[in-house]
Structure 1
């Protein structure tokens, strides 16, 4: 069954693109076919990291009606899994993907999933602040019950996820069978190199002369850790 992954978090800076890049790197390493969609036309980090890696990478302005039509075509026509890195205000996109599908401003994602025999997974990224948790709660109420949920706790700060762990939202997620996984912190100096050089990701960085041996070891550790988390979430075949 084809899998459709929406990398979500609603607000900017929560770590959505980092999660998308790490997922893409693990799938590339595992030789799993994947079509990548970078929905952030202003800061296309996913596209920049993988456009030279042999993966199918699309740039689509998913916040526009024409962009959502283009997204429909990619999801329907892709021969394998599709990973969509949503921009900030991603809820503005998902709101228009569970309508009746008759209007020109969106389409029925549940209907499309049934038509192409695909499974929808929301990979929702949170940090230790309140706003992404509120957005997660609201999206759970808005999206179909059949939606599969994976929540990624971004450990970019060394403090507990107390706000999330004590919410009804977490209890509701667990009742739905959601998986909660962890994104470990990568050396900020390494992140800066990866973000500012086209074609660098957790695979290509391992042989790049832009990184020291220690930095390459940290890249390998991050890739290994994320691969383990994806296995926990059942995302590797």
Structure 2
């Protein structure tokens, strides 16, 4: 059964592309076949780091969006990663609704994951609430990513009615740990995949490489928790 991962959050700068990149590296390291789409026309961050696995996506073009379904049909054993740009939910939602895309994926036997990447701000919470209201289908699996690189305290969120609503929808909540800023800069400015950075002895010293490996291991452990099961509800 194939899986389709829409990685969004609507708000800019919360770490959507970072999440897409670490998910791509997870699939590579686990020998899981996948393909990606990069909807960020201004930055193209995902395609810059994983260009061999990525194609551009125009959210304002139905022909471009239809390629997601076409690839799912022609490569049913592949996971698909769709790295969404900020403020694209309305256009994407229109395509999903008009084309009954979730119905298509259900008929194909594909599982759909909607990832909401967030910082610890109030606007990220309200955007999650809007997303939960927009997609009531039970066939969709929500993943809420609390990015510690963009927020240090998610206590208010975890005590909020919005968090309870996400739990009622059986959302899986994971934490994306914070990488040391200097290490992030080295990875980004040198256009390195996470694997390349973790194994580059010329650019990274031993503690830096180890910090990156620890970060990946901690993230992978959380991804294992739901991606190596059919869904969190099955546990």
- Give the structure-2-normalised TM-score: 0.89
Q: Report the equivalent of 2:28.
A: 28
Question: CA offset at residue 151 of structure 1?
Answer: 0.6
Q: Report the equivalent of 1:104.
A: none
CA distance in structure 1 between the aligned counterparts of 2:155 and 2:207, rounded to whole angstroms? 33
Q: Report the equivalent of 1:8.
A: 8
Q: What are the ranges of 5 or more consecutive residues in structure 1 without an aligned counterpart?
A: 102-106
The answer to whether 1:140 aligns with 2:132 is yes
Task: Tell whether the 8 Å contact from 1:130 to 1:163 is kept in structure 2 after alignment.
Answer: no
Question: CA offset at residue 157 of structure 1?
Answer: 5.2
Map 1:71-90; keep pairs closer than 5 Å: 71-79=68-76, 80-90=78-88
- Give the structure-1-normalised TM-score: 0.88
CA distance in structure 2 between the aligned counterparts of 1:154 and 1:174, rounded to whole angstroms? 18
Deviations 1:43-74 (A, max 9, x none): 1111111125xxx3212122433322333323
Q: Report the equivalent of 2:64.
A: 67
The answer to whether 1:231 aligns with 2:208 is no
Task: Tell whether the 8 Å contact from 1:8 to 1:86 is kept in structure 2 after alignment.
Answer: yes
Deviations 1:105-130 (A, max 9, x none): xx221222123211111111111101
Q: Report the equivalent of 2:161.
A: 168
CA distance in structure 2 between the aligned counterparts of 1:160 and 1:50, rounded to whole angstroms? 31
CA distance in structure 2 between the aligned counterparts of 1:77 and 1:92, rounded to whole angstroms? 27
The answer to whether 1:108 aligns with 2:100 is yes
Task: Tell whether the 8 Å contact from 2:4 to 2:79 is kept in structure 1 after alignment.
Answer: yes
Question: CA offset at residue 207 of structure 1?
Answer: 2.2
The two structures, once aligned, show a CA RMSD in angstroms of 1.8
Counterparts in 2 of 1:177 and 1:153: CA distance versus 1, 3 Å = same
Q: How many residues align?
A: 226
Question: Which of 179, 184, 191 is 1:191 aligned to?
Answer: 184
Task: Tell whether the 8 Å contact from 2:14 to 2:150 is kept in structure 1 after alignment.
Answer: no
